[in-house]
Structure 1
């Protein structure tokens, strides 16, 4: 479907409903239930993951399954009806989903960031409203960073007051809008008339909202992380949050977002290694000089898989250690040092999960042989997905963050990529 035809379909309305039967939405009560639900959902996601990627089949059915599973509300605080699961559980849920289909693991990531902002900034009425919608299966997407600006933090999207109307007007064009295509709500950042950052919640069906399916990257194909435009979109004041108030305060907004990114990469690595093992066992031939009958008996291949498994185990262990650090810090008032420690812990995990995802998805072919490159297997999706997703934030700057922290006692910059 082309961008223009999809835009027409939106204008006509049939895809705008995204109906969710709230009576079917599960309420998850605890961490163990969240992880068992993720295991079950991941098992279903894995069945057609290669086909969805190859055909770029947009996963409407699968995302409704996500809504009905109740996983979208697992971080809602208990006093509002949620499970308020730990960061360790959040990381494991995203790792499991991403090991089945990394695009379906990535699509809901922004929902958890948005709910974190609601928890930090919203009034009691706003919390009851937005948390309640999450528990009813509503999906929150994202209108991401803009293109053509000096850096990823610069923006031109504006939200201005409509005099005497009690509403605001939102105007701008965003890109990298993961999840917006499939969302019921599209939260986006905009600058108010004082130049301060505000988070505005906009229904995907609102007049003036145009979601364009123009995501054309070679990886994470079905995330539909394309363009969203806002043309004089009316936003009630109560549908905004003053995110400028937490911009310079110590917190876990950045580290929690990065933790999910690291979990997605860990999932990609796990999937790539599992597929490589299966292919070597069932399809690969041993090299002629090896003197063995089976590719799985090749000593160099055995050594390589041992190394990959060790690297994956280390990455997963540091990922869980980072999540446990966030859990510890979240239980107490967060100061500059605590916020920095969280960023450092997650940076360490992000480095290891990035590197093992890229290494595993590349070595898959070296260990499996030329037949693994045949299009019918679609094994290249692992590398394409790893390479695309890990570009969200450069690992070279994670090393810089760590080195500067340990060597020079410099606290990491505070933003959503740290």
Structure 2
């Protein structure tokens, strides 16, 4: 019998943050880091490159919290990764990866080490010590850029998805790939909260494949088709769906599929029903409000702008106009039986729209342990619930209770 996502208790962390509608509506930026990414080097005055540079500032393309929520690390288009202390909201250190670039930083289960994808030179995944700024291991094998990278929530395993149309399974303790899946198009990967199940989204085919971690060399136990019948009401042929991220809810029941364009989707992870369509944001693949939308976004434009809160009651997401949206997931419809691809999803507008992020919010993540959110674009913002008008004081009180 195939496992159900989230069916095992495993070692998944339980949520300890009592989030509520009123609290989510009171999130405000407590601190904004204006130097979170270096500006481009100024070119010759009056040149074409100068005009292009002025219209496209560098951005943070990835952020990751450690398991305890004490630290957050960012990766930027300036080929640096920066470490911040979540207790104090202060910058700790800046490290460089000028030769190889850096994207998709992910903390391992040690808060002193990360893995990340290269953006140039080669397609190696690197295991890096933040303590002494040294490489601990290289994971070679991909023949194309790694565009999806995730740590297992329960052990030292991790997965990488590449433009070479493969998914590789690794272990931090060995440089040799321990599993290889070949798919027909660019993959996006995700673990469920127990590490028992993982999912592979295959773009251009609108398929999501669910595998048993212990039997990944077998066929997927569930194949989900992401097809939105409401798109045909807007244009014909309907615009293709391009998936840029994927994440399970903490209980394993739902799958959030982040997409380029102006909609994200909630799928039932047990049977594959399309439940909800999240709308209200402006898709980030445009790069500017005046640019036309494209199907395949430039890497760094989309992929980390939407995610769950730790209790999976809410989804937080970014937008090209700088808005931060909060969608309420507590009343999703229940669907059972055979999947009907012609049944439209419910259309969910944001419960709350938050102002305060400077510029496009390209990365949005919620702290796994305290009521804190990070948003990133050309700058980095730390958000806290401000019930008294003094977000700094709220931060201190929350941290005392840990």
Quick check: TM above 0.5? Answer: no
Structure number with higher strand proportion: 2
TM-score by length of 1: 0.26
Larger Rg: 1
TM-score by length of 2: 0.26
